[in-house]
Amino acid sequence: MVLKIEETSRSSRHEVKLLNWLDGKLPVPAIIEAETQYGYSFLLMSKMPGDMVCTGNSLENMEDTVRALVSGLKMMWQIDITKCPCKNTVAEKLVQAQYFIENNLVDIENFEPETLGPQGFSSIYDLFNYLEQNRPKEDLVFSHGDFSFPNIFVSGRGVTGLIDWGYGGVADRWQDIATCNRALRKKYSKYGLYSEKEYLKYKDLFFGELGLEPDEEKVRYFNLLDELF
């Protein structure tokens, strides 16, 4: 079992709603007990099988891992969103982002180096205005909301577990694509786990398995939007 403890928030409430709704639809933890007390959320869940994507075994077999990531995305996109209890559209995220900015909850120290500064935006307000004025046309699907390596468990070419559902729900298809592609790039650029040539190979494999051409504008938009969370 795993016990998750965090301050009670919109995302902690969403996670409980989505885990209940996703039972039988996706490989997600089963809720054993969920309580809130003194401003904190306590969520006791079953443990997921398989290897976390950010661990050694998965990183040593990246071609299988990339195919597993794609299978996870396609699995989520097959879910009927008509009765999904949570939304995470661009409009919803911008409302949350504005709240975070106004209440000094944005961690600027965690931004990518190019986001702010001479080659980027002058401030988080400048970034927010850009995001407001350049909202993309959305292709809505069921989305994890943070489809990054620590939240995905795999075995071979299949996904065995998906955790951390605080920002899941109805959202643009490219929300999760952008996050996953950024994770692939970070393993090259930030952690040096493989070469640039290998990263480009994995990127080509990723989009090839998805059957999509990279939409660089949407990838950049959703990566910038996620800076505020």
From start to end of 28-184, where are the E strands? 31-37, 40-45, 51-52, 140-143, 152-155, 158-162, 169-172
Smallest CA-to-CA distance from 158 within 23, 15, 58 is with: 58
- Using DSSP's 3-state secondary structure scheme, residue 225 falls into helix
pLDDT tens for each residue of 30-59: 999 999 999 999 999 999 999 999 988 888
What is the maximum alpha-carbon separation in the chain? 51
Domains and their CATH numbers in the chain: 48-226 (3.90.1200.10)
Quote the pLDDT of residue 144: 98
Quote the pLDDT of residue 59: 87
Q: How far is CA 106 from CA 99, 102, 161, in A?
A: 10, 9, 29
146: annotated active-site residue: yes
Quote the pLDDT of residue 45: 98
Those residues of the chain that have pLDDT short of 70 are: none
pTM: 0.94
d(CA 184, CA 17): 29
Q: Which two tokens stand for residue 103?
A: 């209440």
Q: Spot the catalytic one: 51, 146, 164, 226.
A: 146
